[in-house]
Structure 1
Amino acid sequence: MWRCRHRLHDVLLAWEGEQHAVFFDPVGGDTHLIAALGAQLAEWLAAEPLDRDQLRHRLAHDIDWDQPPTPDALDDLLDLHLNRLIDIRLLAEEPRA
């Protein structure tokens, strides 16, 4: 289960139609450029903690893909973006209950 560490409106700037967003880490003072898909994941996780299956479902059904990724490619994309967002301290992984 993952959750967003911050209130997004305080730390994330995104512009409609742009391929990236900017995240400011208030703890470390660093600014990070993140992909639009990463920003979308952060937005979903700011609303509520979600597990991997819930995120995969949302990626598969709530994103308007030009060409939908295969299930394996979807898993790879999810891992790539979640790991990046954890590394920059935008997301936190919660232990399973």
Structure 2
Amino acid sequence: MRVAVWNARAALLYSLGGWTALGGMIYYSRYGSGGGAESGGGPENENDPQRNQGPRKEVYTTETPFGFQVRTEVTYRDDQPPLTRLLRRVVSFFDSSGSPPSEK
């Protein structure tokens, strides 16, 4: 009998935590970082390290034996899944250096 009660309580706790996390991700993706109508351009968005980063480009140039040059440009877009933005925001709260989290 005790095992059944313990299992029910554990299932309730885990389901509550899962639905809370899912609801937070949905709310954050819609209203948290410029995606929603209510976000606006307030001072909190100006201080966001993810917003202040510009697009990052890497250019590679190689020369072939026949004298041709091949130029490759790699542009990293700022479109990130909502979960990645949420996790980076959480990590930035615990980072004491004040710098944006690494891209790795």
TM-score (norm 2): 0.22
Pick the structure with greater CA Rg. 2
